[in-house]
Amino acid sequence: MREEVFISVQDLPAPRHEVFPFFADPANLEALTPPWLRFEVLTPKPLPRGEGALFDYRIRVRGLPIRWRTLIETFVPGELFVDRQLSGPYALWHHTHRFEDLPDGGTRMTDTVRYRVGYGLLGQAVTLLWIRRDITRIFAYRRRALADRFTPVPARQTAP
């Protein structure tokens, strides 16, 4: 089965020193995951942070419970971190989160996910039918959640 690559780029109207810590806190992952996945962190609190941190999760994909374990294999504060699936639904899941300053003071966040399903021809068929679409839907949800989280609320106008 060949490796697939999914890239999502989002510009957020908040400085990197605010955006990066939000992502670096694993407790915020639930807020970025669509409810239909019924995402649950299984790792006991306090949650570890930084390079070498291990996390256990449970998600539901099409109603089936799946356990997922990831390792933060690279962590460069303020710039990037990389999580890699150690066990879970993919033969390969390697997710790089990169953060860059924008000239207007905002942050460009780029997610690059390299993944492979496995299971030969069956995995290729599942990827074509569901996996690509599901990953696109998950990141679309995430984009909306981030826009809501980091978009300033306009001040209310009051009548004189």
**Domain harbouring 97, CATH code:** 3.30.530.20
CA dihedral sign of residues 82, 113, 46, 68: negative
pLDDT in tens, the chain (160 residues): 678 899 999 999 999 999 999 999 988 999 999 999 999 999 999 888 999 999 999 998 878 899 999 999 999 999 999 999 999 888 899 999 999 999 999 999 999 999 988 655 555 555 556 788 899 999 999 999 999 999 865 545 555 5
Whether residue 131 is contained in a domain is answered as yes
Going by the DSSP 8-state scheme, the letter that residue 9 receives in this structure is: E
Whether residue 64 is contained in a domain is answered as yes
Report which of 117, 109, 26 is spatially closest to residue 66, judged by C-alpha positions: 117
What is the distance between the alpha carbons of residues 73 and 13, in angstroms, rounded to a whole number? 28
Rounded to whole angstroms, what are the CA distances from 100 to 6, 55, 59, 80? 19, 26, 30, 9
Whether residue 160 is contained in a domain is answered as no
Whether residue 112 is contained in a domain is answered as yes
By residue range, what is the domain housing residue 59?
4-150
What is the distance between the alpha carbons of residues 2 and 15, in angstroms, rounded to a whole number? 37
Whether residue 157 is contained in a domain is answered as no
Structurally, the chain folds into a number of domains equal to 1
Whether residue 158 is contained in a domain is answered as no
pTM for the predicted model, two decimal places: 0.86
